[in-house]
């Protein structure tokens, strides 16, 4: 297990390097610069700003300097958020995004897995058809449509919940639900398909032939086997939800890392955008590795040597 983990970590290093390289040069190819929106200032002040942030150096030298900094865990100063480093902004925004994403994924897994498994056990019934119809609707309607509707109905018309900000539990309900709904739909459809396949498997027929009750067979064997595709889905999806709730954070005014990414991209804040991209990449790689390590717990046939 340890050797497998080390091999995976060693294989992740080139991936992160490629991501850093592509992101570094792509953001600098975009029109505009970090100080283009400043008030008109004399050329010598513009030159001083460029010199202070090493933007006057050749691009290759800037790249090598940046690589040296991130190897030391330093993402540099933010160009637009004065007096803040990128490390400080990430430390400030990530806990909020983490809470939002984990809450949404927890709801998605519990509700989606239960709904998908129950629909499979009631195949072709009215419950199955209704569940899958709702799931298709959840997949088809993006959360940037769901979020304003929830805000309008529950926040404005009924005045049951606050429509913005981040504070107590009441502030979290709307953004968490809006973020969780599409994932509930995906998990439900994936679970139903996996469960139907498991129920036709040889080991299930053998369990029935030995007289095992339907309830015991489902609880002891079928649910665990049906969870494997869902587990594979959860790695990248959890990373995407935790770090990619950009639209939800913008709509509800949540001070998470996704909001910083949007502002950084709009303001050409090179170091902030780079820091968020690298941070996202590391989280995605780490969660995928975690899923691989957890696989043997659900499927004893899988072994990591």
- pLDDT tens, residue by residue, 254-270: 888 877 887 788 778 88
Residue with tokens 């803040």: 84
What confidence tier does 107 reach under pLDDT thresholds 50, 70, 90?
very high
Superfamily designation of domain 95-264:
MetI-like (1.10.3720.10)
pLDDT tens-digit readout, 160-179: 888 877 877 888 888 888 88
CB–CB of 92/254 below 8 Å? Answer: no
Residue with tokens 């390590």: 293
Q: Can you tell me the mean pLDDT for 194-207?
A: 80
Please tell me the predicted confidence (pLDDT) of residue 124.
Answer: 85
Higher pLDDT: 279 or 55? It is 279
Please tell me the predicted confidence (pLDDT) of residue 243.
Answer: 64
Lowest-confidence region among 58-67, 124-133, 141-150, 214-223: 214-223
Q: What is the pTM of this model?
A: 0.79
Q: Can you tell me the mean pLDDT for 7-17?
A: 79
Question: What are the beta bridge partners of residue 85?
Answer: 77
Residue with tokens 């006057």: 56
What confidence tier does 305 reach under pLDDT thresholds 50, 70, 90?
low
Is residue 198 predicted with pLDDT exceeding 70? yes
Please tell me the predicted confidence (pLDDT) of residue 95.
Answer: 87
Is residue 302 predicted with pLDDT exceeding 70? no
CB–CB of 186/112 below 8 Å? Answer: yes
Of 10, 122, 99, 91, residue with least CA distance to 260: 91
Please tell me the predicted confidence (pLDDT) of residue 37.
Answer: 59
Per DSSP, 202 falls in state H
What confidence tier does 110 reach under pLDDT thresholds 50, 70, 90?
very high
Percent of the chain with pLDDT over 90: 1
Backbone angle region of 126, left / alpha / beta, with phi > 0 → left and psi within -120 to 50 → alpha? alpha
Domain ranges (residues) in the chain: 95-264
Please tell me the predicted confidence (pLDDT) of residue 270.
Answer: 86
Per DSSP, 106 falls in state H
CB–CB of 240/281 below 8 Å? Answer: no
Q: At what angle do helices 2-29 and 270-298 cross, to 10 degrees?
A: 150
Backbone angle region of 211, left / alpha / beta, with phi > 0 → left and psi within -120 to 50 → alpha? left
- Round the average pLDDT of the chain to a whole number and report it: 81
């Amino acid at each position: 297990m340890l050797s497998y983990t080390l091999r995976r970590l060693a294989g992740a290093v080139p991936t992160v390097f490629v991501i850093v390289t592509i992101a570094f040069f792509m953001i600098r190819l975009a029109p505009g610069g970090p100080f283009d929106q400043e008030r008109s200032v004399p050329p010598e002040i513009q030159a001083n700003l460029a010199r202070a942030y090493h933007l006057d150096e050749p691009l290759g030298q800037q790249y090598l300097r940046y690589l040296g900094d991130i190897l030391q865990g330093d993402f540099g100063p933010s160009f637009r958020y004065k007096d803040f480093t990128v490390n400080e902004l990430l430390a400030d925004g990530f806990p909020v995004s983490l809470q939002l994403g984990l809450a949404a994924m927890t709801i998605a897994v519990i509700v989606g897995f239960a709904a998908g498994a129950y629909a499979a056990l009631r195949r072709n019934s009215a419950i199955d058809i209704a569940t899958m119809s709702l799931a298709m609707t959840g997949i088809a309607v993006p959360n940037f449509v769901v979020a304003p509707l929830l805000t309008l109905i529950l926040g404005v018309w009924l005045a049951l919940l606050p429509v913005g900000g981040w504070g107590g539990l009441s502030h979290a309900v709307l953004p968490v639900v809006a973020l969780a709904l599409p994932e509930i739909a995906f998990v439900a459809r994936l679970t139903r398909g996996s469960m139907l396949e498991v129920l036709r498997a040889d080991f299930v027929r053998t369990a029935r032939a030995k007289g095992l009750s339907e309830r015991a067979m489902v609880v002891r064997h079928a649910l665990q086997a049906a969870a494997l595709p869902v587990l594979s889905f959860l790695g990248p999806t959890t990373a995407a939800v935790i770090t990619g709730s950009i639209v939800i954070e913008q709509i509800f005014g949540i001070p998470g890392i996704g909001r910083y990414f949007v502002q950084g991209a709009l303001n050409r804040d090179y170091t902030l955008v780079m820091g968020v991209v690298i941070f996202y990449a590391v989280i995605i790689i780490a969660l995928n590795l975690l899923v691989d390590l957890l696989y043997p717990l659900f499927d004893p046939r899988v072994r990591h040597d």
